[in-house]
Amino acid sequence: MSNFRQREILELARKEGKVTVDGLAGTYNVTVQTIRRDLSELADSGRLERVHGGAVIPSGVVNIVYDERRRLNEDGKRAIAGRCAQTIPHGASVFMNIGTSTEAVARELLDHDNLLVVTNNLNIANILASNQSCEIILTGGVLRRADGGMVGGLTAEMVRQFKFDFSVLGCSAIDADGDLLDFDGQEVLVSRTAIGRSRTVMVVADHLKFQRKAPLTICSLKDVNILFTDKPLRNGLTGDCAGWETEVVTA
């Protein structure tokens, strides 16, 4: 029973991003001490990270496996993607980087006409392939098999040849100072290049990204025109974005 419950707890954490002791105790009609023991065992095995009142999918210096990231907060990502896609007009040129949130935006662009999309994400290219009016340009670079991303200096050099109407960027984390963070220096190089070659920089990041950590800085939210997220920011960061003239859209 304990193993079965722990499997379900882990699945719920992957779907929601976080589980709470009180919520799980009510769900399974067991004591909070039993749930704390379950969470401790899952944390000891590296599958969850304990936080006050519950547990989250672990983060730090190694990113979560890509398939698991796809399942995190799918409804929130879909809502964010819908609002982002509404901002992109027909006939626009768009750069889209690696990430499950940017893939969600690609799905929302399937009805857009006459787009030019440049991407270093094989998954996005495959998603948009069914949009017959969308011209898709895949960058060169080193293939990262784990997530279908193209990264490195060659990728950045190709991105540098364009001037985009919009860039749609995901990231691994956003810290309390408003810095966008990631794990791979080669991917960071590509994202920074796209920012410098875009008229409008848009970031898609659900609320879980504000609870995670990553070691490398892409840019600050002050370098971003529009942030799309699914829950209100903490007050301090809301004020910072207002001062930076970064629009925050909460789906």
Q: What is the pLDDT of residue 70?
A: 57
Tens of pLDDT, residue by residue over 196-236, are 999 999 999 999 899 888 899 999 999 999 999 999 998 89
Task: Let me know: does 15 contact 72? Beta carbons within 8 Å.
Answer: yes
Higher pLDDT, 151 or 13: 151
Q: Is 141 left (phi over 0), alpha (psi -120 to 50) or beta?
A: left
What six digits make up the tokens of 31? 């004591």
Residue 62 has pLDDT above 60, yes or no: no
Average pLDDT taken over every residue of the chain: 90
CA–CA distance, 27 with 29 (Å, rounded to integer): 6
Residue 2 has pLDDT above 70, yes or no: no
What six digits make up the tokens of 27? 């769900």
Q: What is the pLDDT of residue 75?
A: 87
Residue 149: its H or E element: strand 149-151
- Give all domains of the chain, ordered by start, each with its CATH number: 2-58 (1.10.10.10), 67-250 (3.40.50.1360)
Residue 50 has pLDDT above 90, yes or no: no
Task: Let me know: does 226 contact 241? Beta carbons within 8 Å.
Answer: no
Tens of pLDDT, residue by residue over 74-107, are 889 999 999 999 999 999 999 999 999 999 999 9
Tens of pLDDT, residue by residue over 124-182, are 999 999 999 999 999 989 888 878 899 989 999 999 999 999 999 999 999 999 999 99
Q: What is the pLDDT of residue 69?
A: 58
- Strand order in 216-220's β-sheet? 173-174, 179-182, 216-220
Task: Let me know: does 134 contact 128? Beta carbons within 8 Å.
Answer: yes
CA–CA distance, 204 with 80 (Å, rounded to integer): 7
3-state secondary structure of 221: helix
Residue 188 has pLDDT above 70, yes or no: yes
Which residues are 56's β-sheet partners?
Answer: 18, 49
Q: What is the pLDDT of residue 1?
A: 43
Q: What is the pLDDT of residue 68?
A: 59
Give the list of residues 6+ apart from residue 14 with CB closer than 8 angstroms, or none: 57, 68, 71, 72
Backbone phi, then psi, for 107, in 5-degree steps?
Answer: -65, -35
What six digits make up the tokens of 127? 């998603």
Q: What is the pLDDT of residue 61?
A: 41
Which residues are 149's β-sheet partners?
Answer: 121, 144
Q: What is the pLDDT of residue 57?
A: 73
Residue ranges in 109-173 assigned as alpha helix (H): 122-128, 153-159
Higher pLDDT, 12 or 66: 12
Task: Let me know: does 113 contact 90? Beta carbons within 8 Å.
Answer: yes
Q: What is the pLDDT of residue 160?
A: 96
Residue 63 has pLDDT above 60, yes or no: no
